[in-house]
């Protein structure tokens, strides 16, 4: 009945009117279909952007493995794989499909359909699978021996034993009771002396417990309040933990200046970077801390440069926009102050130094590189360019190709691949391929092989100058290309020097523990806590670069540092401590 009614409504129309109604209906359906395709494209675009964001935040930090095309195809491939497992009635529409009931096709040129994913080939080994990776040798071993049944010690011929290693962990909180006996001898009272070699003998915790807390906080990025949870029921307050940490900072404070001297000692290349970190304290304490920092900077600057007038005013001025405080509600009148952790790395020696500053001013880099002459690998931040210019060629600035490559990748439109961006990335990859080939060679041989990179750099520069005019002034790709051309001298400087490096990735890997700590805790601590925290981060990361156990090093140094002569304190630094442990002469 309903179908006949629908058909009768068109009976009074002639052929031309009926044709117009059909054309109008088809146009409406086509418009709706185009709106659906546009909506799907928008959803896909948003999904790709979210995937890219998640990859940057939670993904691998390796510059070589980060690929924009893999991230862009992720959302499409998930939908495509899901469609293969479901029926036609539940199939999700994919751009490029024909709508049901229509003969027309959707414009495929408006949608970029990626190629089908390649099957992951099974990894092959020349001499078979290498087996399970070995446990690091620096971890303490406790051997337990098992003998065959019936063994009585008379068996003479012993074959090679079967040895298996397994990790174990025992967390045991107990109280160490120290009883000092007292006696009456004649007219005097005699008591056993305290333990002077224990720096925490007057505290509620042993040196071993404080060592464990500092290791978890600055090597494994565990906040203090989580460590306090391990001491549940022991009656230890949060302020007590901070007091223990302050005592550890005071013990290790003499190693800070020595570490900075060893990094700049007899080296031709250092790397620098900076990363934000926040403090929480009362406003008056923060102001006093900043005033103290500025006063010490002025004194150090005068000692470093007796002719103070020769220093550019841009170096001594502070970046006030970097020092704004953020009011915090419900923290007893305290505020969060912005600041920066400055990083100085000597990859050749395997040492790194962190220094906290409330600003990002150029004077921080100037004081950390006091008296240094050589190459400086850093990003394109203005402070490093000012410093290189002020040094009058004493400091040769190298720029990071990883930063330039990242800018090119991020400038690409997620909806489709730009052939120019793809070509630039391919040419940069050729530079990295050569660096991988010459890895481990002597500096002289590296400089010889890098002649090929000189030709590739000249070709890349010509290509950038040719294609930059194809983009509008404010396009992201043009801005990224202009960034490379503006810093081309610093980017191409590494091929001239035999000790040069192509990027600053090793410094960024050293900063990674601080990045993880910034995610685990909202702020670094109070203004009194910041210098000590920077020193502990420096020492723990230097131990990792030296491939020694940070916990074993820290315990040994805290027990010895108070009774160590001043001229032998440098032997407690990780690289010299490692040599002493092996019985070798220190570097």
Annotate 241-281 with DSSP letters as a single string: HHHHHHHHHHHHTTHHHHHHHHHHTT-SEEEEEEEEEEEEE
* Arithmetic mean of pLDDT over the chain: 81
Please report the pLDDT score of residue 196 as a whole number.
64
Q: Round the CA-based radius of gyration of the chain to a whole number and report it.
A: 33
pLDDT of 311 higher than 80 = no
Please report the pLDDT score of residue 408 as a whole number.
92
CA distance 14 to 20: 10
How sure is the predictor about 326, in pLDDT bands with cuts at 50, 70 and 90? Answer: low
* Alpha carbon 386 to its chain's center: 25
Q: Which tokens belong to 119?
A: 């099957």
pLDDT of 399 higher than 90 = yes
- CA neighbor of 354 nearest in space, from 113, 515, 562, 581: 515
Name residue, tokens 């990735």.
505
CB count within 10 Å of CB 131 equals 6
Q: What are the backbone angles phi and psi of residue 453, rounded to the nearest 5°?
A: -70, -30
pLDDT tens-digit readout, 335-388: 888 889 999 999 999 999 999 988 888 888 888 998 899 999 999 898 899 888
Per-residue burial over 24-62, b = 16 or more CB atoms within 10 Å of its CB, e = otherwise = eeeeeeeeebeeebeebeeebeebbeebbeebeeeeeee
How sure is the predictor about 424, in pLDDT bands with cuts at 50, 70 and 90? Answer: very high
CA distances from 496 to 348, 448, 449, 492, 500 (A): 19, 10, 11, 8, 8
How sure is the predictor about 8, in pLDDT bands with cuts at 50, 70 and 90? Answer: low
pLDDT of 516 higher than 60 = yes
Please report the pLDDT score of residue 98 as a whole number.
45
> 375: which DSSP letter?
E
2: Cβ contacts below 8 Å, ≥ 6 apart = none
pLDDT of 550 higher than 90 = yes
Q: Is 60 or 449 the better-scoring residue by pLDDT?
A: 449
CA distance 192 to 169: 35
pLDDT tens-digit readout, 485-508: 999 999 999 999 989 999 999 999
Please report the pLDDT score of residue 87 as a whole number.
46
CA distance 114 to 112: 6
CA distance 364 to 367: 5
How sure is the predictor about 4, in pLDDT bands with cuts at 50, 70 and 90? Answer: very low
CA distance 197 to 561: 10
How sure is the predictor about 60, in pLDDT bands with cuts at 50, 70 and 90? Answer: low
Q: What are the backbone angles phi and psi of residue 353, rounded to the nearest 5°?
A: -130, 135
Percentage with pLDDT > 90 across the chain: 37
Give SS3 for 346.
Answer: strand
208: Cβ contacts below 8 Å, ≥ 6 apart = 555
CA distances from 447 to 70, 493, 502 (A): 34, 12, 12
Q: Which tokens belong to 365?
A: 């880099």
Please report the pLDDT score of residue 317 as a whole number.
52
pLDDT of 309 higher than 80 = no
Q: What are the backbone angles phi and psi of residue 53, rounded to the nearest 5°?
A: -65, -45
pLDDT of 461 higher than 90 = yes
Q: Average pLDDT in the 92-109 region?
A: 43
CA distances from 463 to 189, 241, 252, 405, 555 (A): 90, 59, 53, 15, 56
Q: Average pLDDT in the 5-22 region?
A: 73
Q: Which tokens belong to 528?
A: 């009194």
pTM of the model: 0.72
Alpha helices in 151-237 (DSSP H): 207-218, 224-230
User: What is the distance in angstroms between the CA of the first residue and the CA of the last residue of the chain?
Assistant: 99
Please report the pLDDT score of residue 275 as a whole number.
92
How sure is the predictor about 541, in pLDDT bands with cuts at 50, 70 and 90? Answer: very high
Name residue, tokens 């915090």.
328
Percentage with pLDDT > 70 across the chain: 80
CA distance 348 to 341: 22
pLDDT tens-digit readout, 224-254: 989 998 888 888 888 999 999 999 999 999 9
CA distance 403 to 481: 12
How many CA atoms lie less than 13 Å away from 178 in the CB half-sphere?
Answer: 13
How sure is the predictor about 192, in pLDDT bands with cuts at 50, 70 and 90? Answer: confident
Please report the pLDDT score of residue 557 as a whole number.
94
CB count within 10 Å of CB 289 equals 21
CA dihedral over 536, 540, 542, 548, signed as positive or negative: positive
* Alpha carbon 450 to its chain's center: 28
Q: Are strands 374-378 and 395-399 parallel, antiparallel or unpaired?
A: parallel
Please report the pLDDT score of residue 312 as a whole number.
56
How sure is the predictor about 543, in pLDDT bands with cuts at 50, 70 and 90? Answer: very high
Q: Is 586 or 426 the better-scoring residue by pLDDT?
A: 426
Please report the pLDDT score of residue 111 as a whole number.
43
Measured N-to-C along each axis, helices 476-486 and 451-467 cross at an angle, to the nearest 10 degrees, of 140
In terms of C-beta density within 10 A (0-12 exposed, 13-18 middle, 19 or more buried), how is residue 409 classed?
buried
Which of 2-16, 195-209, 394-408, 515-529 is predicted with the least confidence, judged by mean pLDDT? 2-16
Q: Which tokens belong to 34?
A: 């185009």
CA distance 267 to 347: 10
Question: Which of 61-75, 126-140, 299-313, 446-460 has the highest mean predicted lDDT (pLDDT)?
Answer: 446-460
């Amino acid at each position: 009945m309903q179908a006949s009614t629908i058909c009768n409504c068109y009976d009074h129309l002639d052929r031309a009117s009926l044709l117009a109604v059909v054309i109008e209906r088809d146009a409406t359906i086509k418009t709706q279909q185009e709106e659906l395709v546009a909506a799907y494209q928008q959803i896909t675009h948003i999904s790709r952007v979210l995937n890219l964001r998640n990859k940057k935040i939670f993904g691998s930090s390796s510059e070589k493995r980060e690929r924009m095309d893999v991230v862009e195809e992720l959302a499409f491939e998930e939908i495509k794989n899901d469609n293969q497992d479901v029926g036609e009635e539940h199939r999700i529409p994919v751009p490029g499909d024909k709508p049901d009931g229509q003969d027309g096709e959707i414009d495929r040129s408006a949608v970029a359909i990626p190629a089908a994913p390649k099957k992951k080939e099974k990894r092959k080994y020349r001499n078979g699978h290498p087996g399970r990776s070995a446990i690091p040798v620096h971890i303490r071993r406790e051997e337990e021996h098992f003998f065959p049944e019936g063994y009585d010690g008379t068996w003479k011929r012993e074959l090679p034993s079967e040895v298996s290693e397994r990790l174990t962990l025992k967390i045991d909180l107990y109280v160490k009771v120290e009883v000092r006996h007292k006696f009456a001898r004649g007219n005097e009272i005699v008591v056993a002396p305290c333990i002077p070699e224990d720096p925490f003998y007057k505290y509620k915790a042993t040196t071993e417990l404080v060592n464990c807390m500092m290791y978890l906080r600055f090597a494994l990025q565990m906040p203090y309040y989580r460590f306090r949870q391990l001491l549940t029921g022991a009656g230890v307050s949060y302020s007590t933990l901070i007091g223990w940490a302050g005592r550890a900072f005071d013990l290790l404070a003499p190693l800070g200046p020595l570490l900075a001297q060893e990094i700049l000692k007899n080296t031709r290349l250092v790397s620098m970077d900076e990363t934000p970190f926040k403090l929480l304290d009362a406003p008056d304490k923060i102001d006093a801390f900043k005033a103290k920092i500025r006063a010490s900077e002025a004194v150090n600057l005068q000692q470093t440069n007796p002719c103070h007038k020769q220093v550019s005013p841009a170096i001594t001025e502070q970046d006030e926009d970097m020092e704004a405080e953020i009011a915090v509600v419900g923290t007893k009148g305290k505020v969060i102050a912005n600041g920066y952790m400055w990083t100085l790395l000597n990859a050749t020696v395997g040492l790194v130094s962190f220094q906290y500053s409330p600003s990002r001013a150029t004077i921080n880099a100037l004081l950390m590189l006091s008296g240094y002459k050589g190459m400086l690998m850093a990003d394109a931040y203005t402070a490093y360019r000012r410093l290189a210019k002020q040094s009058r060629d004493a400091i040769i600035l190298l720029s990071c190709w990883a930063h330039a490559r990242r800018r090119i990748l991020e400038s690409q439109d997620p909806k489709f691949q730009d052939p120019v961006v793809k070509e630039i990335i391919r040419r940069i990859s050729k530079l990295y391929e050569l660096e991988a080939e010459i890895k481990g060679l002597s500096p002289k041989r590296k400089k010889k092989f890098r002649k090929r990179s000189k030709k590739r750099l000249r070709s890349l520069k010509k290509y950038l100058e040719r294609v930059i005019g194809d983009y509008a002034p404010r396009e992201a790709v043009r801005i990224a290309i202009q960034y490379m051309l503006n810093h081309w001298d610093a980017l191409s400087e590494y091929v001239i020097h035999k000790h040069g490096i192509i990027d600053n990735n090793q410094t960024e890997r050293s900063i990674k523990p601080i990045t993880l700590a910034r995610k685990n805790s909202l702020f670094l601590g109070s203004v009194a806590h910041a210098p000590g925290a920077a020193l502990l981060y420096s020492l723990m990361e230097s131990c990792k670069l030296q491939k020694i156990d940070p916990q074993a090093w820290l315990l040994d140094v805290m027990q010895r540092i108070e009774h160590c002569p001043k001229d032998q304190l440098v032997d407690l630094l990780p690289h010299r401590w490692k040599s002493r442990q092996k019985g070798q002469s220190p570097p």
